[in-house]
Structure 1
């Protein structure tokens, strides 16, 4: 069977932020599949205002796709980045040389195509040690490192003239727990004004009650554009701002993509490694509490990830960012908080670098060492990178945490035995209870989760069992 000359198709039927995080993949697909048409199925209410800033692609609305507009042609590649069942069903119905992501087969079973898409599936309630950004996970099954390494994003634009004092405050988020409260924003408006900066309240129509509460708590006149701008107008307004202070939300990703410097207040059940501002040169502020190192859902009361995040400290940080030079950020001390700068790794992937005086002198903690280890391990096993970084990461963990490393080594054989039992009896596709993950010590859960979804996805065939147990054997050899 020959290679199709048809187009490349991406299904991204999630929210605005997910669509913005698909833009790097669209760039890479155009480079890796030159001369082919690039089609994107997305929600029209999201893609229409983003067309001026999107990489070139032919966008198709979901109603058009559902009515059969995509059928009757052969595709070179279909990439499904959506979790919706109808997207998986559509991916299963289309004809393509290669399919990546969730695909619903004629037998009614949902299968995930692609080792990295399976890795992303394994992160559900299991993302504490993940060190791969969603935008990179969109691409790692198809895009070589040669393409990511040769991609250079322009740094955020430097403010000029009067706009150097204008600071956008995005007050909304998909869930209340993923943003600071109205009292915080009211205090932040006051602190910014005291420093000679000009705050502008931004948000969607659903955020108007929050804006009203902010105004009630602080009656000093501040420009309030919450609910008054379309998405396209919000993008245009961002060009007159020097900085956007924002929770992890869709407009943050659009702002970063369009060159507006962002300070991401990372609170609630989000992980900046998963969904922080993607392009290099942006900033993320996160609590140093152990439970804030990366979570899928909040399991503790009291909002620990908000402790230390005060209006005064955030306003002082904003003033430092705007009045530069950038080296001043390296000398900051912010007890209880961790400031990150976004950057690119040697593979051309997303990275976070800790900033601040105390961070420069601090040795990596166990959580950070675990993240470094699993990043190197999965790059080795899923993308064919070298194993020396894995060995070096394990040796660093042993040197810094010898007792922990010894305990981890003793726990690995039990994981191997339980994985072998699962391999002997797993069938039925994805959706079964995650028994292997539930009984595994936290450090080993990245591999346990990946083995579990891999076996379930492939009905524990001999080939998949051999592949999964091979990961364990390779790991044992490193240890």
Structure 2
């Protein structure tokens, strides 16, 4: 790439996305959104060198920068090499990237290494993780701040990662599909591969394994499911995945044979490049899979997907994007697991029955009706909501009434807070199931809100004095610490207020200033915003408190 051509061109954006195959594919609507925001924009991408083949499938990119970030992480963790020397090497690699002078840098990788890299670029508009002048990691942009928080209230989340990327990296816009560019030579290879497997009316791609065993349905369940489908439909099966998944695939095949499976069963396991895999999937009538990177490739080449959302996977976060797909998620109190949790029993996988999965696959192939008799799991159909965003519609099973109410509530609230627009989505019923408890919490929060804001304002005034009264500032800080503790205790007690309270806790430490006065002013602004959000919720719940507080009077 000619550097001067890059500098003299239109708007320039750098995407940083270095951790997973699926994450790269899920940012395709963001690429389209950026081109709509800035017609003719030049978009570059930074990835780990392991994902070079994936990047070739992505449309709309000018240049791809690669670096072995995995080796950087491994060497720094193991202290195999001097950490300072490692980061100096990365800085030398990044110098030509910095010289381009990007108008916007969007960091979609939430780790410290990516934050250091993005801060080094010193772009005027940074979204996602970066660092403050003191080196602490901060997040910029409300949508990507939401993404950083959602692990704390996952059961209330109703946003797909695809939409969070597009909204945070660009802004609101019409619905965009995930579409991949498949090279012709890969299509030719796939045609020849399938021809060699024999005459099959329709192929179903099956990925038995996953990068993390926690999010993989049991191999024997896959085997029984394939046998049931094969008895009811004229299909063949292609096993896909990495060589590391060969053991799970063998278990599935053994169960398939033992269950009387006779349909053609071919294996492309570990035998394809990423482009060849995309081409192979484009020839299939259906994909049955765990939540994996290849699942998103299937979406990108336009085939219907039946996905199994087990372990720490949640349908709303990473389920197949756009209309035409199906997701089965266990109905279990402990699911989905925490991201870092290692489950000793993985009982959720037994809640998803082969009979149910086979029935969904046959319906997707138009061999049978949509199953409605359902137990121990939920069946979702993907689609587009009234705001033009990805969503999932419950087709069988049931949801927890409390989580369902607040999921719908917060979907509207966040959209309206972050965009300044009214949502077209229908609001939930008038009151939540825990309405009276929410009102009690609100009454407790009101005086804390007032005291916290007054204390923050007083700290700002004290810091403006020429001679800083240290003891007075210490007293105010101690008072604020106590109030913040109380705010967190009450605010996180109820689903009506916990998401905005969690956001406050992050924003109180999300400080980009250098001077003490500026940092305290940032904290004051975070408290004022929390106060505003609490009152937005109070008005929507039709709370009419008799409590008289300074904060309530100031925003009524």
TM-score range, shorter chain: 0.7 to 0.9
Q: Structure 1 residue 450 and structure 2 residue 506: aligned? A: no
Q: Map of 1:98-113 to 2, 5 A cutoff?
A: 98-113=125-140
| Shift in alpha-carbon separation, 1:120–1:298, aligned structure 2, 3 A | same
Aligned to 2:536: 474
| Shift in alpha-carbon separation, 1:288–1:58, aligned structure 2, 3 A | same
CA distance in 2, matches of 1:272, 1:437: 30
**Conservation of the 8 A alpha-carbon contact between 2:240 and 2:268:** yes
Aligned to 1:14: 19
Structure 1 SS opposite 2:146: helix
1:148 is aligned, of 171, 174, 184, to 174
**Residue 290 of structure 1: CA displacement?**
4.1
CA distance in 1, matches of 2:446, 2:10: 44
CA distance in 1, matches of 2:447, 2:278: 53
Structure 2 unaligned regions, length at least 5: 1-7, 69-88, 180-198, 457-476, 512-518, 542-556
**Conservation of the 8 A alpha-carbon contact between 2:504 and 2:526:** no
**Conservation of the 8 A alpha-carbon contact between 2:45 and 2:61:** no
1:207 is aligned, of 245, 265, 268, to 245
CA distance in 2, matches of 1:439, 1:266: 27
Aligned residues: 452
Relative contact order higher in (CA < 8 Å, ≥ 6 apart)? 1
Q: Structure 1 residue 316 and structure 2 residue 359: aligned? A: yes
| Shift in alpha-carbon separation, 1:102–1:394, aligned structure 2, 3 A | farther
2:148 is aligned, of 121, 126, 130, to 121
**Residue 218 of structure 1: CA displacement?**
4.2
RMSD: 3.3
Q: Structure 1 residue 28 and structure 2 residue 55: aligned? A: no
**Conservation of the 8 A alpha-carbon contact between 1:126 and 1:296:** no
Aligned to 1:51: 56
CA distance in 2, matches of 1:346, 1:470: 26
1:240 is aligned, of 280, 283, 291, to 283
CA distance in 1, matches of 2:22, 2:452: 36
| Shift in alpha-carbon separation, 1:130–1:97, aligned structure 2, 3 A | same
**Conservation of the 8 A alpha-carbon contact between 1:271 and 1:295:** no
**Conservation of the 8 A alpha-carbon contact between 2:331 and 2:351:** no
Q: Structure 1 residue 410 and structure 2 residue 440: aligned? A: yes
Aligned to 2:222: 185
| Shift in alpha-carbon separation, 1:128–1:344, aligned structure 2, 3 A | same
**Residue 383 of structure 1: CA displacement?**
1.4
Aligned to 1:393: 428
**Residue 324 of structure 1: CA displacement?**
5.3
Aligned to 1:351: 391
**Conservation of the 8 A alpha-carbon contact between 1:4 and 1:97:** no
Aligned to 1:61: 66
CA distance in 2, matches of 1:40, 1:181: 36
**Residue 316 of structure 1: CA displacement?**
2.2
2:316 is aligned, of 262, 273, 280, to 273
2:377 is aligned, of 337, 341, 344, to 337
Aligned to 1:171: 208
CA distance in 1, matches of 2:442, 2:527: 17
**Conservation of the 8 A alpha-carbon contact between 2:163 and 2:389:** yes
Q: Which has the larger radius of gyration?
A: 2
CA distance in 2, matches of 1:163, 1:77: 49
| Shift in alpha-carbon separation, 1:342–1:389, aligned structure 2, 3 A | closer
CA distance in 2, matches of 1:475, 1:105: 31
Relative to the length of structure 1, the TM-score reads 0.84
Aligned to 1:378: 414
CA distance in 1, matches of 2:244, 2:67: 24
Structure 2 SS opposite 1:75: coil
| Shift in alpha-carbon separation, 1:241–1:265, aligned structure 2, 3 A | same
| Shift in alpha-carbon separation, 1:91–1:334, aligned structure 2, 3 A | same
Q: Map of 1:210-289 to 2, 5 A cutoff?
A: 210-219=248-257, 222-289=265-332
| Shift in alpha-carbon separation, 1:73–1:301, aligned structure 2, 3 A | closer
**Structure 1 stretch 347-356 or stretch 190-199: which is displaced more?**
190-199
Q: After superposition, give the CA deviation of every residue in 1:106-137 in whole Å (9 maximum; x if it has no partner).
A: 31111111111111111123311011111111
Relative to the length of structure 2, the TM-score reads 0.73
Q: After superposition, give the CA deviation of every residue in 1:75-114 in whole Å (9 maximum; x if it has no partner).
A: 2111111123221112111132211111123311111111
Structure 1 SS opposite 2:497: helix
CA distance in 1, matches of 2:96, 2:200: 45
CA distance in 2, matches of 1:415, 1:370: 19
CA distance in 1, matches of 2:363, 2:442: 47
| Shift in alpha-carbon separation, 1:368–1:87, aligned structure 2, 3 A | same
Structure 1 unaligned regions, length at least 5: 155-161
**Residue 289 of structure 1: CA displacement?**
3.1
